[in-house]
Amino acid sequence: MKIQCPNCKISGQISDAKVPAEGIMMNCPKCKTPFRVKRDAASGWQSGDCMSICPGCHYSTFSDETFDICPKCGLVAREYNAKLRDKSQREERMREEERLRLEEEKAFRKYGIIEDVPKAQAEAPAVADIPPAIQFAGWTVVAVALLLLIFGCKGLYAFYAVSSMEAADPATLEEPRTTAALFLEFGLLPAFQIVFGAVALVAGSQFLKLRAWARNALEWAAWAGLVFMSGYELFNLVAWIRRSSSTPTISYYAVGILSALGMLAVWIAPLLFLIRFLRGSTVKKAVV
């Protein structure tokens, strides 16, 4: 097939194999002008170890000359052919395996040898296929979630006990507190522990089954925990300062700040580690 550069009018020959109508983009070897040729990129590709058009960068000599290594991008014809053959063989094997599997399943169902397997059960991976790191992280999240639910329930019970005590005998209090103030002091953290624990329990159990949504839910829960605990410890620090005398000492402030930082470290360090693990290559390769 004869082609011609629309800019400098240089002409040449390429393979006349059958090509689709959309053609390919090529660069003129003289003026470097790109233009479309109504031929497929593979039209100049030889079936052996030589080529007249590179299938990688579309380089061409604009003649019948062939080359075994592309002088522009370095693509080797023999290696490219080998990869194409390997890919074609793999796809053929996969198609054949899928065909045999469907025929076997159809025969089993026809003669009543096996029953239909629920989709969720068929998609669930075997425990042996789950990486140990994911199993450890998942069971750790489940265990921590159960502990949070237990401590959260105990905290709410204590909150209701304090509220009932103050409501029953408010005259004994120097400064009666509202229900909202009591909740902020005694009930907010237990309520968060219950909600956080419930979410972590469900997401952690499904994370052990390599569910993608469970991984996302655990990461969102971890970020929510970071934000909540930062705000909660800041609230406690402000309350600590407000409870001080009119002239608190520097050591009083230092105790409050160090206490808040210590509690933040206890909560934030595991959550940051969990977020980093969930974004790691181990989880990305296993979770689908």
Residue 280's pLDDT band (boundaries 50, 70, 90)?
A: confident
pLDDT of the residue at 66? 66
pLDDT of the residue at 45? 47
Dihedral angle, C-alpha 193, 194, 199, 205, nearest 10 ° = 100
Q: Tens digits of per-residue pLDDT, 7-60?
A: 887 777 665 553 445 566 777 877 888 877 765 444 444 545 556 666 667 667
- Do the bridges between strand 11-13 and strand 34-37 make them parallel or antiparallel, or are there none, so unpaired? unpaired
Please name which of 133, 275, 268 lies closest in space to residue 216, comparing C-alpha atoms. 275
Dihedral angle, C-alpha 165, 169, 171, 176, nearest 10 ° = 30
Helices (H), 27-111: 77-110
Per-state percent for the chain, helix, strand, coil, to nearest 5: 60, 5, 30
pLDDT of the residue at 146? 92
Cα–Cα distance, 157 to 5 (Å, whole number): 85
Does residue 121 surpass a pLDDT of 60?
no
Does residue 188 surpass a pLDDT of 50?
yes
CA 179 distance to own-chain centroid: 42
CA-CA-CA-CA torsion sign (220, 226, 230, 233): positive
pLDDT of the residue at 22? 59
Q: Where are the domains of the chain?
A: 1-75, 127-286
Q: 69 has which bridge partners?
A: 76
Cα–Cα distance, 174 to 19 (Å, whole number): 93
More confident residue, 268 or 22: 268
Neighbours of 189 (CB within 10 A): 19
pTM to 2 decimal places: 0.47
Q: What is the mean pLDDT of the chain?
A: 75
Q: Tens digits of per-residue pLDDT, 138-158?
A: 899 899 889 989 988 988 888
pLDDT of the residue at 150? 92
Query: What percentage of the chain reaches a pLDDT higher than 90?
Result: 2
- Supply 165's token pair: 């005590």
Task: Select, from the ranges 37-41, 106-110, 180-184, the one with the highest average predicted confidence (pLDDT).
Answer: 180-184
- Supply 270's token pair: 């595991």
